[in-house]
Amino acid sequence: MNKRLEYYKQFIDDLVKLKPTVLKRWVLEKGWPKLDENKKINKFLSRLKQEDKEILCELLQQARDGGIHDTLVYLNEKIILNEFKLYKGDTQLAVEPYGTELFWDWVARSEGDEWPEHQLDDDYKT
C-alpha cells in the first residue's frame, strides 16, 4: 500500500479510536475524580435519574464528536489551501485520497464504513 495512503488511513482510524469519551463512564458509574473542584459536578450527577444521565452522556459525546469534526474541517481547509501539510515522519499524508474530506472520512469510519477503495484516486494506487 502507498505509504501516504497508509498513514492517512492510520490518522483517521486513530481519531476514530479516540471518539468514545471517558466522561460517559464518569456520568453513569463513578462520578468525576474525587477532588474539591469536582464536588459540585458529583453533587449535580447524584440528583439525576438514570434516563437523564444517559441523555447527558449523549450530549457529552456529541460535543466531543463536534470538536473532532470541527478540527478536521479546519485542518482540511488549510490543507486544501496549501497552508498546512500533515506528515508522519518524513512522509506527507495523502490528501483526499478518496475524493472526500478528512472530516467526511472520519464520520464514515466512525459509523463503521469500510474504506471506499473503489473511489481511490489513481495517484495513491500502487
**What does pLDDT average to over the chain?**
97
pLDDT of residue 23 exceeding 90? yes
At residue 80, the pLDDT reads 97
User: Does some domain include residue 99?
Assistant: yes
Looking at the structure of the chain, the number of domains it has is 1
Query: What is the domain extent for residue 101?
Result: 3-115
Backbone angles phi, psi at 87, to 5 degrees: -125, 150
The number of CA neighbours under 13 Å toward the Cβ of 35 is 4
User: Does some domain include residue 123?
Assistant: no
User: Does some domain include residue 79?
Assistant: yes
User: Does some domain include residue 48?
Assistant: yes
At residue 126, the pLDDT reads 79
* Structure confidence at residue 44 as a pLDDT band (50, 70, 90): very high
pLDDT of residue 13 exceeding 90? yes
Tell me if 78 sits within 8 A of 99, measured CB to CB: no
User: Does some domain include residue 120?
Assistant: no
User: Does some domain include residue 110?
Assistant: yes
Which pTM does this prediction carry?
0.89
User: Does some domain include residue 59?
Assistant: yes
Q: What is the pLDDT of residues 52-92, one digit of tens each?
A: 999 999 999 999 999 999 999 999 999 999 999 999 999 99
User: Does some domain include residue 121?
Assistant: no
At residue 26, the pLDDT reads 95
The helix/strand/coil state of 111 is coil
> Rounded to a whole number, what is the distance in angstroms from the first to the last CA of the chain?
6
pLDDT of residue 97 exceeding 90? yes
The CA distance from 89 to 120, in Å, is: 23
At residue 68, the pLDDT reads 97
At residue 98, the pLDDT reads 98
